[in-house]
Chains A and B, each alone.
Chain A
Amino acid sequence: MLAVSRYYLALLGHSQRYLPAVLAYLALSVILYSDPHSPVLPLYGVSSGALVVLGCWLTIAVLDIEDPVQRLVTLSHARSRLRTIGGAVLAVFGCLVVLTVITLAWSAIRTWQLNWDAFGVCLLALPASGLLGIAIGLPCSRLLVGRIGWTVLAAVLALGLVLLGKWVPLVHPLITALTNGAPYVGALVLAVVTSVVALGVSAGVVGWLAGRRA
């Protein structure tokens, strides 16, 4: 799966489709963490929301690079549809981990404080949010949705539902708790668990449906 992951990273890097979303995220981070006196937990809440969107963007970008026929060639070498999906997920997750570390380092540099509790929240909340973004991006990608217009529509609707829907118990409770300064431990655990489960379900269902349609 690592070889598949490296291949998708190379495709993503050469395509430059990551640039708009990553640059927007970095610009947001620069603005968010510009005030050294601001408490960082609400800012991590905003960054978490941004990483949901970024995870979704990168997943769709990496899976839409290959022509459907070329994807068959990749599949014949990887020998398993779940291995190709897993490789793509791993590639995107690697990018999100790098961005999490950049966010953490930038916030630490700006505040010149080592708040280990807050760092722990950052290291759990941001990757968990990214995983949820990947879980949303998989079914919206070319694996199931053939036209880019429908992809955009489906992704925007799903992201809006997850980020803004108070009744959706995924990352919304965590983002709300962090930005409002409310107790967040339960919401953090919920976000981590549901993100992992959502990704597993999404990858399994997308792999099964893509296999049936092939």
Chain B
Amino acid sequence: MITPLIRLAGVGKRYGGGELVLDGVDLTVPAACVVGILGANGSGKSTLLRILAGVSRASLGSVEGTPSIGYLPDRFPGGQRLSARSYLRHLARMRGLADLSAIDPLLERLALVGGPDAQLRTLSKGNAQKVGLAQAVLPRPDLLILDEPWSGLDGGTHAVLGELVAETRARGASVVFTDHRPAVVREHADAVHRIEGGRLTAVGDPAETEPATRIVLAGTGTDWTAEPGVRHAIAEGSRVVLTVDATSADAVLLRALSGGWSVREVAPCSP
């Protein structure tokens, strides 16, 4: 039996004396799993993630499990005169990290405009979001919680974020993220939930619950959406990210290689 990293049971949340923003939420996050939460604006996504991150207290129900957490809020404000590097160093020290050498390469990988010396207050929304993303992944937490992480990021950083999510899962940690776009959630998540009116339900499309494989290819020429076994195909520059039925993965790889594509990554999408 897999031990859950964190489990929410019957969680409800109300602010002040107002109505319940979340109501009866049950959610289990196992290790090495990417959980995507779909929901419209005001549906309670951010509140749910704040409770998971331990920065907000549930009014009802229980939260079991205390994994180390990296948390990216829905908007990362910045606004201070501290440089990005200095800010990340301070946060890393709060975690007790002694080796701070990963900061500059991470910011470089995220293509932060202005580099590590850029002051937080000078950053655009997208670049501030990159610093926010960096502070969340830097301590290599057991559970990475990302609130609409793709919002405001440029196309290049979308791919990097996808890689960071995949790397987090590959090292045995889990990711919970929200977005309002089903295609984005399904592309990256092993398990998908939908939140509406403060209630969370698992997305029950049987086709989506079958084991799937994520294949990243580099090249041009084939319309992968028409290929058998391919659920989704999302182009990212010169690369294509495919989500395929696990049973069709070998056949898709064979077609890709014989068609002159380069296989960059193959990973299971389901736990």
Partners in one complex: yes
Which A residues are closer than 8 A to B by beta carbons? 3-4, 6-7, 10-11, 14-15, 65-67, 69-70, 72-79, 211-214
User: Which residues of B lie under 8 Å from residue A78 when comparing CB positions?
Assistant: 94
Question: Residue-by-residue, is B65-80 near A (CB-CB < 8 Å gives 1, otherwise 0)?
Answer: 0000111111111111
Check A74/B91 contact, CB under 8 A, given A14-B81, A214-B50, A214-B57: yes
Is the CB–CB distance between B82 and A11 below 8 Å? yes
Count residues of chain B with CB under 8 A from any CB of chain A.
Answer: 32
24 A–B pairs (Cβ distance < 8 Å), ordered by A: A3-B90, A4-B94, A6-B93, A7-B93, A10-B82, A10-B90, A11-B82, A15-B81, A65-B80, A67-B79, A69-B74, A72-B53, A73-B71, A73-B72, A73-B76, A73-B91, A73-B135, A74-B91, A77-B95, A77-B139, A79-B54, A211-B57, A213-B15, A214-B50
Question: Residue-by-residue, is B36-72 near A (CB-CB < 8 Å gives 1, otherwise 0)?
Answer: 0000000000000010011111000000000001111
Is the CB–CB distance between A75 and B93 below 8 Å? no
Check A7/B57 contact, CB under 8 A, given A72-B73, A73-B71, A76-B69: no
Check A76/B81 contact, CB under 8 A, given A3-B93, A10-B90, A211-B57: no
In chain B, what residue has the closest Cβ to A76? B71
Which B residues are closer than 8 A to A by beta carbons? 15-16, 50, 53-57, 69-82, 86, 90-91, 93-96, 132, 135, 139
Partner of B132, one of A4, A73, A77: A73
A188 to B139, CA, bound (A): 46
Is the CB–CB distance between A72 and B55 below 8 Å? yes
Is the CB–CB distance between A70 and B55 below 8 Å? no
Is the CB–CB distance between B81 and A214 below 8 Å? no
Partner of A73, one of B16, B73, B86, B95: B73
Which of A66, A75, A76 has most chain B Cβ within 10 Å?
A76
Partner of A15, one of B80, B96, B139: B80
Closest Cβ–Cβ distance, residue B65 to chain A (whole Å)? 14
Closest Cβ–Cβ distance, residue B56 to chain A (whole Å)? 5
Is the CB–CB distance between A14 and B55 below 8 Å? no
Check A77/B82 contact, CB under 8 A, given A70-B76, A72-B71: no
Is the CB–CB distance between A212 and B91 below 8 Å? no
A4 to B29, CA, bound (A): 30
A70 to B82, CA, bound (A): 13
A14 to B78, CA, bound (A): 13
User: Which residues of A lie under 8 Å from residue B93 when comparing CB positions?
Assistant: 3, 6-7
Check A70/B77 contact, CB under 8 A, given A7-B90, A14-B82: yes
User: Which residues of A lie under 8 Å from residue B74 when comparing CB positions?
Assistant: 69
User: Which residues of B lie under 8 Å from residue A74 when comparing CB positions?
Assistant: 91, 94
A211 to B79, CA, bound (A): 24
